[in-house]
Chain A
Amino acid sequence: MTDKKKSQLILCTCGKQLNLDFDSLSADLGKISMTETVTIHDTCCQEDGLEKIAEIMKKKDTPLVIGACTNQKLQPRIDQFLKQKGIDPSRVRYVNIREHSAWVHPDKQEATEKALGMLRGGIASAASSSVLPIEEKEIPNHVTVIGGGIAGIETALSLENLGYNVTLIEIDDKLGGHVLNLPVVAPTGKPGAEILKGRLEAIEKSENITIMTQTQVKYFEGEMGNFTVNYISNEKEDELQTSAVVMATGFKEFKPTMMDEYRYGKNPDVVTQYELSSMLTEGSFKKPSDDGEVKEVVMVQCVGSRSEDYKKDCSKLCCTFAIDNAIAVLEKNPDANIRVVYMDIRVPFENELIYKESREKGVDYIRGRISMVWEKDGQTYIKIYDSLLNQYFEVPADLIVLSSAILPPDGMAELSETLGYILDDGGYVKELYGKLRRNETRRRGVVAVGAVTRPQFVFEAVTDAQAAALVLHNELQGGKIKTVARGAVLNVDDCVGCSLCAQQCPRGVPLMIEQPEEEEDEEQKILFKAAIDTLNCHACGVCQSLCPSAATQLNFLSNEQLWDQVEATLEDASGENLITLCFYCEECSVSTIDIVGTRKMEYPASTRLIPVPCAGRVSIIDILKALECGAATVMIAACEHDRCHIGGTGNEIAQVQVDVAQDILNAIGWKGERVEMFRMFSAEPERFTNAIIEMVKRATKFAQSPVHKGTAGKYEVATK
């Protein structure tokens, strides 16, 4: 139990526009033993209000509870102001009495009661809050880039420009990757070697980039700021220390040997598109079988791509590559006949103009598929189905070029085991969030660039690399990190070594560390215990809700704080006053609920809302606590599937907690439906009102749970 501190309170009337009874609020809150003072102000967000807040905080060293509009808007302004005044803002608690009460409940008394309950909760939570320290740490100013293709090279150069030392690891004996062999790169029409030239010169000259070719990374240890890279170079194992890792291992072209219809691997005149690129670059543009002239060329699109059997998705680049190569072939042999068999030609933006150019140059496009390839008297033939003419026809071919699917490179799964990124269904590195955070991976300090994330054009890979350098720079801050230590703090003595936190942390922060040998009590010894670097933590609280021994807790929302808050919020709950308690995440859910407020959409006032950083912070115990404290129903508002703001899985952890809570309640006959989780989406505010109306309905149906505070430990049979 921490020392509980009284709070000062400031309530904002929002320019006297809030339909709340501030006199009664002030009187009732003043009576609470944990209240130091109550101040009412008309505009907390304006200069005079900010001054008032600063004045209150300077006068007495206590927590401060602000009852006002949404903290999502207010907090940045207040934090900024207090920072300028040199006041620590970490013990300020916000209770939203505007969007979450006054604006959605037209009945003044009801709205006031709800505000009172939530403010009581705020005071209770603030009572055991502590000042969050600003901490500093120094980490190696070094990044390791795996993969020496265009994306890896560009990332290394960008990072060097931002002041980092870089080790660039390449498995091959030279840098350049696939781009080196491209005869023409759309949309500029330059050969790949030319695009690489300036960069390769720069990297050769660089003093801060160490190049290691013929080197293969085996595994990793550690975390952001302190990774150890274990690698094999010239058959020798070695390791290096680094602060962050860039995955830039490129792509692999699908080799369609198992697709019998194409005879790839059996007939030397059947090649892949990339093999044709290499032939064109090396200048050996002859029939592979007999070095004869190549006149009849058939290119086949979507070999392995857009197929249920091999790769479901489109490989994006192959249409453009095929067209580029078709034009390059015509340059070598203007008499060549080129047919491209396709399903849909997919050439984005100005690549369409190259498509047009190729048609003007005589490339023939046939919408359809290939039914078979065969050889007769040393000549290769191909049978094409034309879906526009609904006809089959057979043509001889000197060269058949398969636009083969572009796949993730080998070794991705192996590295993910120790590097901690996850793979998507297609085997690519899964981005942290598809809309906005493409280069970041699940693991903090690990970014992915270029084709390892999805098929990319050269210019896209370059942009990716430049962006990823910024992402890492944001994380590493040049090696000197100084920030508020706000997040999970682990008490190692309480750790039982279960490793749930390490397995389930959405960003892979906790590490399991082998414990030093101890003489005594070998049987009781815990071999591995968790370690959490609070400065690497995203502060979601998933580890806290899963920890069986309460060893890891958020330093701004401990178990004690949340339980005190729940209890105080529900103080007025009773058989007559049936309350629905809603835990909401401070991401999609707070947005949705705030918008419900801004749009003044109404819902019952017999509801109390408690914020949590992520729905994953809510544990089964927290849910049962709410029922114990008198809530009739408990709802959890979380982000949609796959849209959790915190690494993508906090909401799913919450779902598991809710499911288990329901099972427990059902098992003892207390109605699992008392508890439910709902997915929020701020473009659809009805999701919240529909959900909470449903839970209020269930509250009336089920009443309070049979055992709760007020039954004084006596078992009371549920009446409904």
Chain B
Amino acid sequence: MSDPVLIIGAGVAGLTAAVELADSGVNTIVVEKLPTVGGNALDLYKAFPTDDCFYCFEGNRWRPGIRKCFYRSALIDQPNMDLKINSYVEQITGNSGKFEATIHVGPEYIDAKKCIMCGLCIEYSSAFSLVSPQCQPQAVTYDPDKADEGDKKAVEECPTKAINLDAQPKKETVSVSDVVIATGYHEMKPVNVDEYSYGKHPNIVTQLELAQILDPIGATDGKLLRPSDGKPAKRVMMVQCVGSRDENYYPYCSKICCVYALKHANILTEERDASQVSVVYMDIRTYDSHERYYREARENGVEFVRGRVARVEPKDENELDIIVYDSLLDKYLKFTVDLFVLSSALEPPEGMDNIIDSLGLNVASGFIAPADLVSENEVVAGDHIYACGTALGPAEVPESVTQARAVASKILQNRK
């Protein structure tokens, strides 16, 4: 029996690789630092290119070949998959098909297999909550920082005795044959980019934060409201390439921001009744058939301003004046807006350089580069080491899925 495959990260890419391998009879250990799988995808509301929700993914062949919602994927009941949430990989040693990984496993306050989501504990104590209706594992989570009197009662009353408040973190060492890095990306928080005043005014948000405002399951029930006073936001400006294509931050293009900005611009104009949406850009990069978003945005009356934002001047607590240099008109323009949205760069997640250094991988602007540059095998990062999804640099969901399948394909080919 071969050693299991270690998969770091349970976002779209990691999960696809894990499920494909598990379905093919390969044992996998999936390490996820958050309390639920899904990664950045869970916060995206609508995904391009299909504009549907982000919760479905392939796998789990009890109905073959048909995609499933995350919440229906029953990952904890998949016999070949060991999902470790609230966990991270501390160290990987060894090489070439024989690795030892040390995993820090967070305290298991809730036994996910026992939790029936009856909601009793949530009634007793605010330390318990359901991360999302589509979280996976389907179980409540416990936040020890919010512990109160009610949680003892919750422990007693829990019908399946699924709660253990004394749970401790532990360290596990496992032997694995292959390592799959699917650690995803992080949206840069542009606090240091002075011209955009991010963090200094509540109505200045990033695209990922806007996605959460638009999400009907989110705090505003999907209504487009100004964070400052909860009044409808009618005038919105987006600015592209915040931190991307910028020598001071990231010289590369983050590839997907134009598409998701325009996706948001279309939602704002078509479904959220925004009266004025403008996009400040350098080049609009809607690759391939994503050009459709650009066409639709123009039809929806979204205004495109080629140029850069010079500065942001808060007018009052709720409104912002944005001074924009328009390079086509060679003029400075002033816009007054309710919401200013920054298309912030996709950066490597925390700890990426550690993984790259310790495994001796090639690097591409902080992300993982292929081991062999001539072969164009992008998913092969080393001997028995693979990467997929945005660990390889900015990627769309379908690209991440295809890469993850390529990884599973490569591992199965090696095991034949």
Nearest-CB distance from B382 to chain A (Å)? 16
The answer to whether B376 and A188 touch across the interface, beta carbons within 8 angstroms, is: yes
Majority SS at the chain B contact face: loop
- Which residues in A have their C-beta under 8 angstroms from that of B46? 683
Given contacts A312-B295, A314-B287, A595-B134, contact A473 B49 (CB under 8 A): no
Chain B residue with Cβ nearest A682: B53
The answer to whether B285 and A683 touch across the interface, beta carbons within 8 angstroms, is: no
- Which residues in B have their C-beta under 8 angstroms from that of A72? 69, 71-72, 74
Nearest-CB distance from A242 to chain B (Å)? 20
Q: How far does the alpha carbon of A347 sit from the alpha carbon of B65 in the complex, in Å? A: 35
The answer to whether B406 and A470 touch across the interface, beta carbons within 8 angstroms, is: yes
Q: How far does the alpha carbon of A185 sit from the alpha carbon of B376 in the complex, in Å? A: 10
A284 CB within 8 Å of chain B: no
Chain B residue with Cβ nearest A470: B409
A408 CB within 8 Å of chain B: no
Q: Give chain B's interface residue range (CB within 8 Å of chain A).
A: 35 or more
B143 CB within 8 Å of chain A: no
B124 CB within 8 Å of chain A: no
A351 CB within 8 Å of chain B: yes
Given contacts A344-B284, A348-B394, A438-B398, contact A433 B255 (CB under 8 A): no
- Which residues in B have their C-beta under 8 angstroms from that of A299? none
In the complex, which residues 588-615 of chain A have their Cβ closer than 8 Å to any Cβ of chain B?
588, 590-591, 594-595, 598-599
- Which residues in B have their C-beta under 8 angstroms from that of A210? none
B311 CB within 8 Å of chain A: no
Chain A residue with Cβ nearest B214: A683
Number of A-B contacts (CB under 8 A): 257
The answer to whether A17 and B410 touch across the interface, beta carbons within 8 angstroms, is: no
The answer to whether A435 and B49 touch across the interface, beta carbons within 8 angstroms, is: yes
Nearest-CB distance from B165 to chain A (Å)? 19
Nearest-CB distance from A464 to chain B (Å)? 6
Instruction: Encode B375-389 as 1/0 by CB contact (under 8 A) with A.
Output: 111110000000000
- Of A190-198, A268-276, A659-667, the one contacting chain B is A190-198
B230 CB within 8 Å of chain A: no
Instruction: Encode B62-92 as 1/0 by CB contact (under 8 A) with A.
Output: 1111110101101001110000000000000
- Which residues in B have their C-beta under 8 angstroms from that of A161? 413, 416
Chain A residue with Cβ nearest B60: A76
The answer to whether A454 and B289 touch across the interface, beta carbons within 8 angstroms, is: yes
The answer to whether B410 and A466 touch across the interface, beta carbons within 8 angstroms, is: yes
In the complex, which residues 360-404 of chain B have their Cβ closer than 8 Å to any Cβ of chain A?
364-365, 370, 373-379, 393-394, 397-399, 401-403
The answer to whether A15 and B376 touch across the interface, beta carbons within 8 angstroms, is: no
Nearest-CB distance from A190 to chain B (Å)? 6
In the complex, which residues 438-460 of chain A have their Cβ closer than 8 Å to any Cβ of chain B?
438-439, 454-455, 458-460
Given contacts A595-B133, A683-B216, contact A344 B283 (CB under 8 A): yes
Chain B residue with Cβ nearest A312: B291
Chain B residue with Cβ nearest A306: B291
The answer to whether A436 and B67 touch across the interface, beta carbons within 8 angstroms, is: yes
Given contacts A314-B288, A462-B376, contact A350 B283 (CB under 8 A): no
- Of B94-102, B111-119, B336-344, the one contacting chain A is B111-119
Given contacts A346-B285, A346-B287, A462-B376, contact A470 B408 (CB under 8 A): yes
Nearest-CB distance from B153 to chain A (Å)? 15
The answer to whether B393 and A349 touch across the interface, beta carbons within 8 angstroms, is: yes
Chain A residue with Cβ nearest B286: A314
- Which residues in B have their C-beta under 8 angstroms from that of A437? 58, 67
Chain A residue with Cβ nearest B138: A73
Nearest-CB distance from A350 to chain B (Å)? 5
- Which residues in A have their C-beta under 8 angstroms from that of B119? 17
- Which residues in A have their C-beta under 8 angstroms from that of B285? 344, 346-348
The answer to whether A17 and B378 touch across the interface, beta carbons within 8 angstroms, is: no
The answer to whether A473 and B412 touch across the interface, beta carbons within 8 angstroms, is: yes
- Which residues in A have their C-beta under 8 angstroms from that of B62? 75-76, 79
- Which residues in A have their C-beta under 8 angstroms from that of B406? 463-464, 466-467, 470
The answer to whether A434 and B287 touch across the interface, beta carbons within 8 angstroms, is: no
Q: Which of A17, A352, A464 contacts B252 (CB 8 A)?
A: A352
Interface centre among A158, A314, A587 (most CB of B within 10 A): A314
Q: How far does the alpha carbon of A79 sit from the alpha carbon of B77 in the complex, in Å? A: 10
Nearest-CB distance from A349 to chain B (Å)? 5
Q: How far does the alpha carbon of A351 sit from the alpha carbon of B253 in the complex, in Å? A: 8
The answer to whether B402 and A464 touch across the interface, beta carbons within 8 angstroms, is: yes
The answer to whether B118 and A190 touch across the interface, beta carbons within 8 angstroms, is: no
The answer to whether B117 and A16 touch across the interface, beta carbons within 8 angstroms, is: no
The answer to whether B365 and A80 touch across the interface, beta carbons within 8 angstroms, is: no
In the complex, which residues 268-299 of chain A have their Cβ closer than 8 Å to any Cβ of chain B?
none
The answer to whether A14 and B67 touch across the interface, beta carbons within 8 angstroms, is: no
The answer to whether B253 and A352 touch across the interface, beta carbons within 8 angstroms, is: yes
- Which residues in A have their C-beta under 8 angstroms from that of B393? 349-350
Nearest-CB distance from B190 to chain A (Å)? 18
The answer to whether B409 and A462 touch across the interface, beta carbons within 8 angstroms, is: no
The answer to whether A426 and B377 touch across the interface, beta carbons within 8 angstroms, is: no
Total interface residues on A, using CB and 8 Å?
95
B23 CB within 8 Å of chain A: yes
In the complex, which residues 682-699 of chain A have their Cβ closer than 8 Å to any Cβ of chain B?
682-686
The answer to whether A163 and B398 touch across the interface, beta carbons within 8 angstroms, is: no
- Which residues in B have their C-beta under 8 angstroms from that of A635? none
A333 CB within 8 Å of chain B: no
Q: How far does the alpha carbon of A344 sit from the alpha carbon of B77 in the complex, in Å? A: 49
In the complex, which residues 142-185 of chain A have their Cβ closer than 8 Å to any Cβ of chain B?
150, 158, 161-163, 185
Nearest-CB distance from B125 to chain A (Å)? 16
Nearest-CB distance from B167 to chain A (Å)? 19
Q: Which of A77, A475, A685 contacts B217 (CB 8 A)?
A: A685
In the complex, which residues 610-646 of chain A have their Cβ closer than 8 Å to any Cβ of chain B?
640, 642-643, 645-646
The answer to whether B283 and A345 touch across the interface, beta carbons within 8 angstroms, is: yes
The answer to whether A539 and B217 touch across the interface, beta carbons within 8 angstroms, is: no
- Which residues in B have their C-beta under 8 angstroms from that of A462? 375-378
A259 CB within 8 Å of chain B: no
The answer to whether A73 and B71 touch across the interface, beta carbons within 8 angstroms, is: yes
A469 CB within 8 Å of chain B: yes
- Which residues in A have their C-beta under 8 angstroms from that of B52? 435, 588, 640, 643, 681, 683
B142 CB within 8 Å of chain A: no
B57 CB within 8 Å of chain A: yes
In the complex, which residues 22-49 of chain B have their Cβ closer than 8 Å to any Cβ of chain A?
23-24, 45-47, 49
The answer to whether A467 and B398 touch across the interface, beta carbons within 8 angstroms, is: no
A533 CB within 8 Å of chain B: no
Chain A residue with Cβ nearest B405: A467
A577 CB within 8 Å of chain B: no
The answer to whether B63 and A463 touch across the interface, beta carbons within 8 angstroms, is: no
- Which residues in A have their C-beta under 8 angstroms from that of B57? 436
The answer to whether A313 and B394 touch across the interface, beta carbons within 8 angstroms, is: no
- Which residues in B have their C-beta under 8 angstroms from that of A346? 283, 285-287
- Which residues in B have their C-beta under 8 angstroms from that of A267? none
Chain B residue with Cβ nearest A75: B62
Q: How far does the alpha carbon of A405 sit from the alpha carbon of B102 in the complex, in Å? A: 50
Q: How far does the alpha carbon of A30 sit from the alpha carbon of B378 in the complex, in Å? A: 62
The answer to whether B133 and A474 touch across the interface, beta carbons within 8 angstroms, is: no
The answer to whether A681 and B53 touch across the interface, beta carbons within 8 angstroms, is: yes
Nearest-CB distance from A73 to chain B (Å)? 6
The answer to whether B413 and A162 touch across the interface, beta carbons within 8 angstroms, is: yes
6 pairs, A vs B, C-beta closer than 8 Å: A349-B253, A388-B327, A463-B402, A474-B24, A645-B67, A684-B216
A interface with B by C-beta (< 8 Å): 14-17, 42-43, 45-46, 69-70, 72-73, 75-77, 79-80, 150, 158, 161-163, 185, 187-188, 190, 194-195, 198, 306, 312-316, 344-353, 356, 387-388, 390, 426, 433-439, 454-455, 458-460, 462-464, 466-467, 469-471, 473-475, 483, 538-539, 587-588, 590-591, 594-595, 598-599, 640, 642-643, 645-646, 681-686
A70-B72, A351-B253 given; 19 more Cβ-contact pairs under 8 Å: A46-B160, A72-B71, A72-B74, A80-B79, A190-B374, A314-B287, A314-B289, A349-B254, A349-B255, A388-B328, A434-B398, A454-B289, A458-B376, A462-B376, A475-B65, A598-B117, A682-B53, A683-B217, A684-B53
What are the 8 A-B residue pairs with the smallest beta carbon separation, nearest first? A15-B159, A683-B53, A467-B405, A161-B413, A466-B406, A470-B409, A344-B283, A17-B118
